[in-house]
Amino acid sequence: MTHTLLINCPDRSGLVYEVTQLLYNKYALNIISNGEFVERNFNHFFMRTEFSGKFDREQLLKDLHQVLPEDVEIKLTDQRKKDIVILVTKEHHCLSDLLIRFAFDELNANVLAVISNYNVLEELTSKFNVPFHHISHEGISREAHEEKMLATIKSYQPEFVVLAKYMRILSKEFVSHYSNRIINIHHSFLPAFVGANPYAQAYERGVKIIGATAHFVNEQLDEGPIIAQNVIPVAHTHSAREMAQAGRDVEKIVLAKSLKLVLNEQVFVYRNKTIIFE
């Protein structure tokens, strides 16, 4: 089995040596790949290491803490599928793409359930034998609706929540339950055109490219750490509707890429940005 070690801490000389010599000399582990990065503005060190071999997990973590700076953050995981729950509203393109990838084992995740405030996508979801929960927002307060959503999500105990075109703004209280564990696809190349109707905004501005952004959700609307982005060219001949149609393809690709990075433990969140090892 392959294991992934993620380390971030204040930078100092010798950190790579300290880690690799410990893995090899004391535990005789085989290092498969290794990547490092230093954020110069804050003198902060990041390291991602894949290795294989047998070891005592608790002892290895203890030894790592002894040789690394006191305020180090260490994450040690096995390379396995992560459990996710997907939230949707009415648009099918991102959900269908993820479900197809899941069905053909191209998504490094177990899709435990799909939850929506409408029942529009229930038939689609049922084709993949994935549980679907319709939790309507109509006739109840936002707080009451989110309580129902949270109760259903927590019943599955997912590691990540994916907003595959879930078109409702989540409260700070909701987000606090899954810090840096909610991934959203935004139909715009952030930070441009935040909020609703980005393609109409783009059309009015006469933009020459449109794109999509996948990011972690935080307390500020569309301002969470960015995971992945992509763009395609457009011209003045494109209507806002045509831009939106083209944008859906970009959204699918960007969301799938962001999930691959996150699920493969290739993403660090530091302050309000991401450090990504590809």
pLDDT per residue as tens digits for the range 19-61: 999 999 999 999 999 999 999 999 999 999 999 999 999 999 9
Q: Which entry of 63, 97, 222, 249 is annotated as an active-site residue?
A: 222
pLDDT tens column, 139-169? 999 999 999 999 999 999 999 999 999 999 9
222 is catalytic: yes
CB atoms within 10 A of CB 93: 17
Confidence (pLDDT) at 145 = 98
Residue 110 above 90 pLDDT?
yes
pLDDT tens column, 236-264? 777 878 877 888 899 999 999 999 999 99
* pTM score, whole prediction: 0.91
Residue 98 above 80 pLDDT?
yes
CATH numbers and ranges of domains, the chain: 2-78 (3.30.70.260), 82-276 (3.40.50.170)
Confidence (pLDDT) at 190 = 47
Helix ranges (DSSP H) in the chain: 15-21, 57-67, 93-103, 122-126, 142-156, 172-176, 198-205, 240-263
